């Protein structure tokens, strides 16, 4: 039930901010069901001014969120352009620009994640407001610091570069500049490729639109900036629709292409057989005329092809640190060019042929890709499905398993159990076993046509009993340290001997082959086990007996008036004879009290602790004389390192 102080995730337009926001309910609803709600200054809107809006309570009741989520504000970044850090495949951490397309909040962990579309892929990253720098759409399109290392450009430097480019592009206190080459305000800034295709987020319907960088810059510079466009430039009212996106009917996808693009994420694409769907236009043409096939008239590359090519070029620029990956991308670009040239020069029939791909390629379904992206991280998250499987195949000796394509395909999406994958598919194999298996299986076909091999039979099972034993021993000893247990020398000796006996018993059971008894040894390392309780009781009994004996000795000494002897007392309180013979002239010069000479150690920096106020050396007494002879001072300086501080 909504009460005062509740927090809500609000739609765009509730406050004077461009995007989603969080609000805090104030007061109670009026008769018309209206309530006042305050803007929560968090996330993207942390530096905004205080705002109050009036909304209908029924419209926001189901959008209530926790206080922790509202104060951190991950949902405020949805729909916004950001600049954050990213580690490309095989590269170093660099700055990257992207769009936040969604978010999630974990009530259990009290933390959130955001979905960031970087153009070439969408990644789910942990939400940290300090690591997400909100940028304007023109900075997102210009990308002044894209692929710059985070060590070369620090966060404050990044913000400063963004401000300079923004002011120069929009003409803040200066003449506005549209030419991207003139917007290079720093040696680390590179001009953007205006032909590149970027996604932008339409917040009105929560959809992504793909337009060129040139279209974004033209719309912001001329349309939003109220500047007259150059001759021949036509701009729509919305930035999400470019004029050149309207294509001729020849480029309209056929029903076959539509069927291929609309794919259910729950189905395995490898199992789908390509069905030939007749094109109604060409079917009618074949029915009405006997015109022979003609060459295809080129009306321009489709927007999807242009977008894919631009993304490849952009990805190549981002991977400058990885020459091997750049070479791989160059091969893809060359293959696309060769394929386009062959398509333009080939003769085709009017009846469309089914579009098919190489049957040896791995094409995971939507749910398989989602599972894979959830499980992997690091460099593996940047690999395509084909690259992932080929990488494991190449480096099979690093993992020790036999890299059968069907096994790796199952590993990609964790297809254990009913999907057919077994842990016995991942047993270690030798080089010879691997060569023998390669002769029996086709290692190049990655599709589902290459079925899973039979898993290895179970002949033995490794039992990590030694590791389990010492893990329990470690936990047991750590627990003893935090407990108030006797730590005398005798108690520690008993504990060490008891531990040695348990480990020896472990060895005996191993030699006898009693695996069940071996596994039970670790259970004895517990403070509640009867074996430990017995040794603990023995330790306590010994300590009690020692304490009683010491108490009886002390009572006897008090009755007889004896001083503790060297044999009955240990430590610093035991009596000991004086250091060597003291020169006669020093003895004569020592001050005396009650017929006893003063203790020179007591007067030195070392000091003499004594026993019950008496000196530990026979014939000496503790007191501080008013005057000391020079010969005594020199002797104390030589033997004991000097006089005490209060006697100097």
Structure-block tokens of residue 422: 């077994």
Whole-prediction pTM value? 0.41
Contact predicate 66/107, CB 8 Å: yes
Distance between CA atoms of residues 360 and 448, nearest Å: 9
pLDDT recorded at residue 467: 77
Per residue in 389-446, pLDDT (tens digit) is 788 878 777 777 777 888 888 888 888 887 788 877 777 777 787 777 777 777 776 6
Contact predicate 279/352, CB 8 Å: yes
Contact predicate 237/333, CB 8 Å: no
Q: How confident is the model at residue 448 (pLDDT cuts 50, 70, 90)?
A: low
Distance between CA atoms of residues 177 and 179, nearest Å: 6
Distance between CA atoms of residues 134 and 172, nearest Å: 19
Which residue in 352, 346, 157, 333 sits closest to 274, CA to CA?
352
pLDDT recorded at residue 266: 46
Structure-block tokens of residue 603: 């007067």
Backbone angles phi, psi at 323, to 5 degrees: -70, -35
pLDDT recorded at residue 204: 82
Percentage of the chain lying above the pLDDT 70 cut: 75
pLDDT recorded at residue 558: 62
Structure-block tokens of residue 609: 């602790």
Helices (H), 115-154: 137-142
Distance between CA atoms of residues 429 and 399, nearest Å: 10
């Amino acid at each position: 039930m909504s009460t005062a102080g509740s927090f809500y995730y609000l739609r765009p337009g509730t406050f004077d901010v461009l995007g989603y926001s969080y609000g805090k309910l104030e007061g109670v609803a009026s008769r018309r069901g209206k309530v006042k709600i305050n803007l929560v200054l968090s996330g993207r809107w942390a530096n905004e001014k205080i705002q109050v809006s009036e909304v209908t309570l029924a419209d926001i009741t189901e959008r209530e969120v926790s206080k922790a989520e509202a104060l951190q504000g991950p949902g405020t970044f949805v729909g916004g352009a950001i600049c954050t850090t990213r580690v490309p495949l095989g590269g170093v951490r660099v700055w990257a620009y992207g769009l936040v397309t969604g978010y999630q909040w974990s009530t259990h962990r009290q933390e959130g994640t955001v979905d960031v579309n970087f153009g070439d892929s969408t990644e789910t990253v942990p939400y940290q407001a300090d690591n997400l720098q909100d940028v304007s759409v023109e900075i997102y399109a210009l990308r002044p610091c894209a692929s710059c290392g985070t060590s070369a450009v620090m966060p404050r430097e990044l913000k400063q570069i963004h401000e300079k480019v923004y002011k120069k592009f929009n003409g803040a206190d200066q003449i506005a500049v549209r030419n991207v080459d003139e917007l290079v305000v720093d040696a680390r800034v590179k001009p953007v490729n205006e032909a590149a295709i970027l996604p932008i987020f339409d917040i009105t319907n929560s959809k992504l639109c793909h337009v060129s960088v040139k279209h974004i810059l033209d719309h912001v510079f001329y349309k939003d900036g109220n500047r007259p466009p150059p001759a021949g430039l036509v701009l729509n009212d919305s930035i999400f629709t470019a004029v050149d996106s309207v294509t001729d009917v020849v480029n309209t996808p056929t029903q076959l292409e539509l069927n291929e693009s609309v794919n259910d994420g729950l189905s395995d694409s490898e199992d789908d057989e390509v069905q030939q769907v007749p094109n109604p236009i060409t079917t009618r043409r074949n029915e009405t005329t006997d015109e022979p096939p003609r060459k295809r008239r080129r009306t321009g590359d489709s927007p999807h092809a242009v977008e894919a090519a631009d993304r490849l070029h952009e990805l190549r620029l981002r991977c400058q640190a990885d020459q091997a990956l750049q070479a791989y991308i160059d091969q893809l670009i060359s293959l696309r060019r060769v394929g386009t040239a062959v398509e333009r020069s080939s003769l085709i029939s009017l009846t469309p042929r089914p579009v098919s791909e190489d049957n040896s390629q791995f094409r995971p379904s939507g749910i398989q890709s989602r599972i894979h992206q959830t499980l992997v991280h690091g460099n593996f998250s940047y690999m395509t499905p084909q690259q992932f499987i080929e990488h494991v195949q190449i480096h099979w000796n690093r993992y020790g398993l036999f890299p059968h394509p069907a096994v790796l395909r199952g590993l990609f999406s964790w297809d254990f159990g009913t999907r057919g994958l077994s842990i016995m598919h991942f047993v270690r194999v030798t080089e010879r076993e691997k060569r023998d298996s390669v002769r029996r299986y086709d290692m190049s076909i990655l599709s589902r046509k290459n079925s899973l091999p039979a898993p290895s039979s179970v002949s033995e099972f490794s039992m990590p009993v030694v590791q389990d034993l010492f893990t329990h021993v470690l936990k047991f000893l750590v627990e003893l340290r935090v407990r108030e247990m006797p730590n005398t020398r005798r108690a520690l000796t008993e504990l060490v001997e008891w531990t040695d006996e348990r480990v020896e018993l472990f060895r005996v059971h191993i030699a006898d082959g009693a695996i069940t008894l071996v596994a039970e040894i670790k259970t004895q390392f517990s403070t509640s086990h009867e074996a430990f309780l017995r040794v603990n009781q023995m330790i306590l009994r010994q300590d009690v007996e020692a304490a009683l004996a010491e108490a009886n000795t002390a009572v006897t000494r008090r009755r007889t008036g004896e001083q503790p002897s060297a044999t009955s007392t240990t430590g610093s309180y035991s009596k000991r004879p004086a250091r060597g013979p003291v020169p006669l002239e020093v003895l004569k010069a020592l001050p005396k009290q009650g017929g006893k000479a003063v203790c020179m150690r007591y007067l030195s920096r070392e000091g003499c602790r004594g026993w019950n106020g008496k000196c530990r050396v026979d014939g000496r007494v503790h007191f501080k004389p008013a005057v000391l002879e020079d010969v005594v001072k020199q002797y104390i300086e030589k033997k004991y390192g000097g006089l005490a501080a209060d006697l100097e």
